[in-house]
Amino acid sequence: MELYDPVPLSRKTRSLLNKVNTAAITSQLRARGLLRIYLKGLTPVSPKARRFIGPAFTVRFIPMREDITVVERVSSPQSPQRRAIEEAPAGSVICMDCRGDTSAGMAGDILVARLKVRKVEALVMDGGMRDVEECARFKFPIFCGAPAAPASFVAHHAADLQVPISCAGAAVLPGDILMGDEDGVVVIPSNLVDEVAAGAVEQEHLEAWTQKEVLKGRSTFGLYPPNEETLRRYEASKKKGKKRPKG
């Protein structure tokens, strides 16, 4: 896969991702050699709006500088920040590289209202967020570094759209699949998402069976992680379940 040639997210894979959590995704990516795929230190604005899945639409910010971060540029329709609000496709996740600087808010209730109306999937940033109480009422998924009252131009200058960025310690490319839930946000390379989703579903089934075994009193030694005997018993339980009569 080329750097700027993302693979579209299929309905089937989205459906599989909806059945698993980000913890399972990190395990599947670790098994494929990808370790730095978790966006560290981000928290949801609304506890009732944490789960989302969608391709990344990236925005890169640099530190503000008084001679370039002027009102005319900040409010211009050509500003990358303003363009992202109006151009991010429905179902996408706007991901902002704020260099971990949470001293200013990257968006507020008015911009979030616009994203919700446009059916954007979520907003993710390692910067601050304004109007958090009002934004929480929208039940729109937002993950940020911290609440912040000042406007973005106090600390940031929007520099570019749809380029590779760093967000919360992870590399995010345009079109990468971002997924969020109660455990946080992970990034999945789009060319791996089909196999990762399928692997995560199978992992969740195994772990559900493992939990039942633990509750029966079994030791975790050889059970978690599973040794060969445990895997044989698990496969046998799957076959037994398939043979049960319906009704």
The domain that contains 174 carries what CATH number? 3.50.30.40
Query: Is residue 15, in this structure, part of any structural domain at all?
Result: no
Q: Which of 187, 177, 181 is nearest to 49 (CA)?
A: 181
Within the chain, residue ranges assigned H as helices are 11-17, 22-31, 71-74, 80-87, 109-117, 132-136, 193-215, 228-243
| pLDDT score of 4 more than 90 | no
Give yes or no for residue 247 having a pLDDT over 60: no
- Cα(94)–Cα(105) distance, integer angstroms: 15
Q: How many CB atoms lie within 10 A of CB 147?
A: 16
pLDDT at 245 over 90: no
Asked which of 38-52, 140-154, 196-210, 233-247 is least confident by mean pLDDT, the reply is 233-247
Domain span at residue 78 reads 35-188
Q: Are residues 56 and 111 in the same domain?
A: yes
Q: Which of 188, 207, 231 is the last residue of a domain?
A: 188
* Chosen domain end from 188, 214, 232: 188
Instruction: Report the number of distinct structural domains present in the chain.
Output: 2
Of 182, 177, 18, 192, the closest CA to residue 93 belongs to 177
Write down the pLDDT at residue 1.
45
Taking only the tens place, the pLDDT of each residue in 61-70 is: 999 999 999 8
Q: What is the token pair recorded at 181? A: 């839930």
In a domain, 1, yes or no: no
CA distance 183 to 40: 10
Cβ burial of 212 (10 Å; 0-12, 13-18, 19+) is exposed
Q: State pLDDT tens for residues 7-18.
A: 999 999 999 999
Residue recorded with tokens 């990257």: 106
163 and 202 belong to one structural domain: no
Does 74 have pLDDT greater than 90?
no
User: Mean pLDDT in the chain?
Assistant: 94
Taking the whole predicted model, whether its pTM rises above 0.75 is answered as: yes
For residue 184, the cross-strand partners are 181
Query: pLDDT by residue (tens digit) across 75-130?
Result: 888 999 999 999 999 999 999 999 999 999 999 999 999 999 999 999 999 999 99
pLDDT tens-digit profile of 134-189?
999 999 999 999 999 999 999 999 999 999 999 999 999 999 999 999 999 999 99
User: CA–CA separation, 10 vs 86, rounded Å?
Assistant: 24
